[in-house]
Amino acid sequence: MSGDALVSFDPAAVRSQRRVAFAVATTAYGAFRLTSKIRVENPENLPQRTGAIVAAYHSNHLDPILVGLAVWRNGRLPHFLAKSSLFSGALGAVLKGLGQIPVLRASAQAGDSLEYAKEALRRGEVVVIYPEGTLTKDEEFWPQHFKTGTARLALETAAPIIPVAHWGLEEVKPRGRMVPRPRPLRHTSVVRFGEPIEYHDLWQSREDNRSKTILTRRLTNTIAAMVADLSGRPLPQRFMTEEVGE
């Protein structure tokens, strides 16, 4: 990346980011435990030495903390793609110190976000993406429309996509509630790392938009199935096919 890069992933920068992350994660974990215990399932699915895309379910304002802690406590530094409006003031300084990646929407630099993500993956880092780009608005908390950015990043880098789902945060911070409920002993929030999404069959046609659409649908269905299993609900029919239009 250029010398005026917004974020760097060279070894010295990552070492500094990990030092900041240690302090931030320690504080965040202590604060989160005031509301809920954390259980992480299948952490072995998170690669330990290579770059990886963590594609996460997004249903609650607290889930970046939950997912970030799950990644960090399993030995990896999470680099979230986050909207650029967050990168100002004290919060912005922390995000920059952690090596997070600003998403520059409606800007001449909008494409830079994926370039930074590609650089992080080349350096063996973990990039966390919310494929929806926003909180799900579904009344029953099913995933909604996934954008194709995650599929595009995978098909341009060959990085594994690790789907991540979680459940339990709505009991801690229900939709519309500003302040979380303190339930440290009575409640557990669960994070599950899924097996890497298979997309070798799409590799030869990786520049085709249809391949991006198919992979996006495959990711949507996988995360929806994980949410169904974690929440103990039947999977809606709409998540049982990856057919796409011509």
User: What is the pLDDT, as a whole number, of residue 176?
Assistant: 85
Where would I find the beta strands (DSSP E) of 95-170? 101-103, 126-129, 161-167
Residue with tokens 């100002």: 88
Q: Is residue 88 domain-resident? A: yes
Domain range enclosing 87? 11-233
Q: Do 125 and 14 meet the contact criterion of CB atoms below 8 Å apart?
A: yes
Residue 91 falls inside a structural domain: yes
Residue 241 falls inside a structural domain: no
Let me know if residue 238 belongs to a domain: no
Spatial CA neighbour of 184 closest among 16, 33, 8: 33
Strands ordered across the beta sheet of 101-103: 37-41, 188-193, 161-167, 52-56, 126-129, 78-83, 101-103
Is 3 a domain residue?
Answer: no
240 domain residue, yes or no: no
Q: Would residue 158 be called left, alpha or beta, if left means φ above 0 and alpha means ψ between -120 and 50 degrees?
A: left
Which sign, positive or negative, has the C-alpha torsion 68, 70, 72, 76?
negative
Quick one: which of 61, 65, 41, 75 has its CA closest to 163? 41
Q: How many domains does the chain have?
A: 1
Give the separation between CA 220 and CA 25, rounded to whole angstroms. 29
Kindly state whether residue 226 falls inside one of the protein's structural domains.
yes
Task: Indicate the burial class of 242 (C-beta count within 10 angstroms; 0-12, 13-18, 19 or more).
Answer: middle
The CA R_g of the chain, rounded to the nearest whole Å, is 18
User: What's the pLDDT tens digit per position in 109-139?
Assistant: 555 678 899 999 999 999 999 999 889 999 9
Q: Could you tell me how many residues make up the chain?
A: 246
Query: What pLDDT is recorded for position 6?
Result: 76
What pLDDT is attached to residue 1? 46
pLDDT at 106: 53
Q: What is the pLDDT of residue 112?
A: 66
What CATH number is attached to the domain comprising 98?
3.40.1130.10
Per residue in 37-77, pLDDT tens? 999 999 999 999 999 999 999 999 999 999 999 999 999 99
* pLDDT score of 184: 64
Within a domain: residue 246? no
Q: Which residues of the chain have pLDDT under 50?
A: 1-3, 107-108, 246
The pLDDT of residue 105 is 63
